[in-house]
Structure formats: C-alpha cells, structure tokens
Amino acid sequence: MIKSTNELTPQELITIFQARTAVFVVEQECPYQEVDEADREAIHVCLEEKGRLAAYARIFAEPEAIHFGRVLVLKEFRGKQLGKKIVSETLAEIERRYPKRPIIISAQAHLTKFYGAFGFLTTSDVYLEDDIPHVDMRLQK
C-alpha cells in the first residue's frame, strides 16, 4: 500500500503511528517527537503480511532533494528480508513520482552497509540525532 497522508483512512494512520512509536520510541528507548510536520505531506509505503502492517517507510519531498525515513520492520516480522523489500519499494516509488531527483537520507550509523547495498554513499561524519548516531547518505545513480 502506498498512499499520501490525506489518502490514508484514520485507522491506517493510527496503525502507522502505533508501529513507528513502538519501534522508534519504545523499542529504541528514544523519547522524541515521532509524529512531525513531514507527516502532513508524506507518502507512506506499507508492506503487509497476513493482513497486518509488517514494514513501513515514509517519503517526503523538499526543494533540494527527496528524503525517506522512519524505515522499520515490526519485531514479529523480522528475519524475512522485509527491510530490503521496503527500501526497494520505497526507491521504486520515489523514481515513479520524482524521477532523477537526488535522494538524501539520515541513516542510523550502524546501517551504512545496509543502505550502501542500494547505492547510497556516506556524505557526513557521524552525528547524534535524538542521542542515536546517524550519518547523511546520498544515493549515487
């Protein structure tokens, strides 16, 4: 399922926000404003298994580049290569909607090899975002 925020039903939006809070706030023990202004105009990419949200990513456009983030696989669905699948689906959707636009992400530092397999290169030193080490990465097309 790929929908803009305005296309989501209230139930779908609640399911997404519950999943993101479960992973990024509770599981990663990181209290921060998880729902933010980018959600108002975002494109939401969802993978379901057995009728339940299993993996998710959020796309948002800015004038200088396209970004995606909030990439997650819910705990009970891990180990099934859904991380690779959600990133592949997200990149395909970005190419459909925003062809030839640069793609820049802020990735948790321990995931540089994972995103590197998709062609992303690290473009910054490690920095803390909400007390978690991150790096900026850019897709080399």
Look up the pTM and report it.
0.92
Instruction: Identify the bridge partners of residue 135 per DSSP, sorted by sequence position.
Output: 107
The rounded distance, in Å, linking the Cα atoms of 124 and 92 is 25
- Which three-class secondary structure state does DSSP give residue 80? coil
CATH domain 2-103 topology: Aminopeptidase (3.40.630)
CA distances from 133 to 23, 48, 108, 126 (A): 16, 29, 6, 6
Digit-by-digit pLDDT tens for the chain (141 residues) are: 999 999 999 999 999 999 999 998 889 888 888 899 999 999 999 999 989 999 999 999 998 899 999 999 999 999 999 999 999 999 999 999 999 899 999 999 999 999 999 999 999 999 998 888 999 999 976
Neighbours of 29 (CB within 10 A): 9
- Domain positions in the chain: 2-103
